[in-house]
Chains A and B, each alone.
Chain A
Amino acid sequence: MKKRNFLVTLFLSFTLILAACGTSDEGNADGDSGEEKNCEPSDDAINVAMVTDVGGVDDKSFNQSAWEGLQAYGEEYCLEEDEHYDYAQSTQDADYEPNLNRLTGQDYELVYGIGYKLTEAIEKVAGQNPDTNYALVDEVASEMDNLTSITFKEHQGSFLVGVAAALKTESNQVGFVGGVDSPLINKFEVGFEAGVKSIDPSIEVDVRYAESFDDAGKGRQIANSMYNSGVDIIYHAAGGAGNGVFSEAKDIKTNDPESYVWVIGVDRDQYDEGTVTVDGTDYNVTFTSMVKRVDIAVQDVAERMMEGDFPGGENIEYGLSDEGVSVADTNEEAYTEEIATAVSEWEQKIIDGELDIPSTHDELEEFLNNL
């Protein structure tokens, strides 16, 4: 008898929950449909879509940034999501090709592959579908009329955050946490080290790789050992693994708000990742971020295609001069005006071509010898 009562109660509460959810949901749906756009989609706008890598569209990094670029493009030309612009998410490497093919089949005229992991897949799909245009972000693909490559001069931006870190460090030790040891991430590492050493060659740069872009635990472990060894600023270029660096720094800050630990974010302005509240006081461990404007690049390529100027077979490199990379100054308390002035002086030198920033280990060696 007791048991049956229990079951009845369970059933009743379940229906109640269902009913509650149902009504609140209807309200939401109404809200959505009420949002009428008071403009017409432009006639010459093209339909664009993107395929994320395994990081997913909400990786707080370049996948998200690329999607923001598409959203901005959609807003500018008054387009509908899911109809004129969309994304497909990949959960494993084997998903890239089906996703690219799926979007191609859904009549998107320009399909982006976000991340170097999609290189093989996008080359194959582009070869099979000559009528659709493709763009690969972060890697130079083989030359095809319907495939363009978007890369960034990450070494330039990394150089500038290196300069900032060198001016900020108190222990004269800074760290770099990379995702996977590869030519792409080496650009971040080398640029950063060059920037640090340009200010003070005696500053030590501790370089380590997590060998993963999504293992936050690994990132945290490395950050822990770096901070323990006296490093006070860590620059990460490790995607999701870099989130571990943030959590470690925030942990240290929570235990001791006086501690001097900083993280330099990457790809997007990671100011929000660094917020931590201790006893009602807000702190932020994000010193600055090396911002890679994937969004600007993505939007730019779409607009060039609209104008009939699709850069097929080319590699477009976005750097400091076209705002493809920049240094974030959101944390005004930490990123002081003094540092900002110094950084912009170096920036001007790079833009003017007075200074060539190394992008490989060999070039770094040469650069350091010439200091």
Chain B
Amino acid sequence: MILQKLKGTWIPLVAIGFGLLAGAIIMLLFGYNPIQGYIALWNGAFENPYFTGETIRLMTPYILSGLAVAFAFRSGLLNIGVEGQVFVGWLAAVWVGTAFSLPAFIHLPLAILAAAVAGGLWGFVPGYLKAKYQVHEVIITIMMNYIALYSTNAIIRNVLTDQGERTDYIAESASLKSAWLTELMEFSNIHFGIILAIFSALFYWYFIEKTKYGFELKAVGFNRDASKYAGMSVKRSIIMSMVISGGFAGLAGAMEGLGTFGYMSLQNSFTNIGFDGIAIALLGGNTAIGVILASGLFGVLKNGALNMPTSAGVPHELVDIITALIIFFVAASYMIILFREQIISMYHKLKHKLSNISSKEGK
């Protein structure tokens, strides 16, 4: 059976297909043309260099937040705190970007490093508490999100500005943007962060697949007790996993601070970069290449969806439902696995019955 042979990779693809189909049905039900709708979605993401650039820009932090979640997943931890780690990374990057004036080859790496360290520290706290006191990381990271949200707001208001709404622009030397790239993409906000994101994905792959530490992380993820029995330091693995995961998240924040915006403004609520990262990691099967592809899908969906109301007349609410459906089907891919198994077992039963009948007839 073909179904049995195709494992892993086909599930997200089928899920996306189901999602698009469900979205099309919804559009039909409400009297909109789904083909026009999806053309608008596609055009919104790729119509010209500007929108392509914007899609890549949108995808950049998603790659990093997806990697962050995936990294923690690999060692059996659920890092819900990517959102908060993005905030502190963003703030740290902008802080370094505005406070110093240095040559670009020092300033930019320093700002990026600051973001990674800040995110890593934010990940260290839940990691440490988990390792030392078995406090569940989900609770801590959720709480840390709020601490990050409100403290970064307070710091922007009282430290970086005088009761201002947003920080100053970062110095040119700390910016990930380049005039050359901006011009190439017709003034879109694309920046060199995408290269950093892809390097991070490479690093992720190398670390998880090729190093001793990566092997330990995975082992801890599979079975904590067995790893301990095998002489691995479970505590160290947990802390390291959360720190590196937080570091990735911090880099995602740096993408916003040093690339997209060039400043940080007061945030009313979460950016959803971190929460979407959970879906991206799931969709990407916690692999580096999977995360990149899933981020691409998210970038296309989010950016393209903005175009559906203005050029295909599909209302915003419906667009939200359609994108949510696609994500839903992806997240519910376990359901598809289950479905597949049922089909397989039904097929076997049927075959069994048929052979029974034929053997009886044979007699």
Q: Given A54-B268, A212-B268, A103 and B303 touching (CB < 8 A)?
A: no
Asked if A215 and B31 make an inter-chain contact with CB atoms under 8 angstroms apart, the answer reads: no
Q: Given A93-B261, A94-B58, A94-B261, A215 and B268 touching (CB < 8 A)?
A: yes
Asked if A92 and B272 make an inter-chain contact with CB atoms under 8 angstroms apart, the answer reads: yes
Closest Cβ of chain A: how far from B221's Cβ, in Å?
33
Of B153, B311, B316, most buried by chain A (CB within 10 Å of CB) is B316
CB interface residues, A 7-38, toward B, < 8 Å: 18, 21-22, 25-26, 28-29
User: What chain B residues lie within 8 Å of A82 (beta carbons)?
Assistant: 310, 313
Q: Which of B48, B163, B187, B310 is close to A128, meaning CB atoms less than 8 Å apart?
A: B187
Asked if A94 and B260 make an inter-chain contact with CB atoms under 8 angstroms apart, the answer reads: yes
User: What chain A residues lie within 8 Å of B187 (beta carbons)?
Assistant: 101, 124, 128
CB interface residues, B 29-83, toward A, < 8 Å: 29-31, 44, 48, 50-51, 54, 57-58
User: What chain A residues lie within 8 Å of B271 (beta carbons)?
Assistant: 92
User: What chain B residues lie within 8 Å of A128 (beta carbons)?
Assistant: 187
Closest Cβ of chain A: how far from B29's Cβ, in Å?
5
Asked if B310 and A106 make an inter-chain contact with CB atoms under 8 angstroms apart, the answer reads: yes
Q: Given A93-B261, A94-B260, A128-B187, A182 and B165 touching (CB < 8 A)?
A: yes
Q: Which of B51, B163, B272, B306 is close to A181, meaning CB atoms less than 8 Å apart?
A: B163
Asked if A212 and B29 make an inter-chain contact with CB atoms under 8 angstroms apart, the answer reads: no
Cβ of A230 within 8 Å of any chain B Cβ, yes or no, is no
Closest Cβ of chain B: how far from A357's Cβ, in Å?
22
User: What chain B residues lie within 8 Å of A263 (beta carbons)?
Assistant: none
User: What chain B residues lie within 8 Å of A95 (beta carbons)?
Assistant: 306
A98 to B306, CA, bound (A): 9
Asked if B50 and A93 make an inter-chain contact with CB atoms under 8 angstroms apart, the answer reads: no
Cβ of A271 within 8 Å of any chain B Cβ, yes or no, is no
Closest Cβ of chain B: how far from A91's Cβ, in Å?
8
User: Which chain A residue has the least Cβ–Cβ distance from B163?
Assistant: A181
Q: Report the interface size class on chain A.
A: 35 or more
User: What chain B residues lie within 8 Å of A102 (beta carbons)?
Assistant: 44, 51, 306-307, 310
User: Which chain B residue has the least Cβ–Cβ distance from A86?
Assistant: B310
A106 to B54, CA, bound (A): 17
CB interface residues, A 94-150, toward B, < 8 Å: 94-95, 97-99, 101-103, 105-106, 116-117, 124, 128
Closest Cβ of chain B: how far from A86's Cβ, in Å?
6
A residues at B contact (CB < 8 Å): 18, 21-22, 25-26, 28-29, 49, 54, 56-57, 82, 86, 88-89, 92-95, 97-99, 101-103, 105-106, 116-117, 124, 128, 180-182, 211-215
B residues at A contact (CB < 8 Å): 25, 29-31, 44, 48, 50-51, 54, 57-58, 153, 157, 163, 165, 187-189, 256, 260-261, 265-266, 268-269, 271-272, 303, 306-307, 309-311, 313, 316
Q: Known pairs A101-B187, A117-B265; list 9 more (Cβ under 8 Å).
A: A28-B31, A88-B309, A94-B261, A106-B310, A116-B165, A180-B266, A182-B163, A211-B266, A215-B269
- A–B pairs, 28, beta carbons within 8 Å: A18-B25, A21-B29, A25-B30, A25-B31, A28-B31, A56-B316, A57-B316, A82-B313, A86-B310, A88-B309, A88-B310, A89-B306, A93-B265, A98-B303, A102-B44, A102-B306, A102-B310, A103-B310, A105-B48, A106-B310, A106-B311, A117-B265, A180-B268, A181-B157, A211-B153, A212-B268, A212-B269, A214-B268
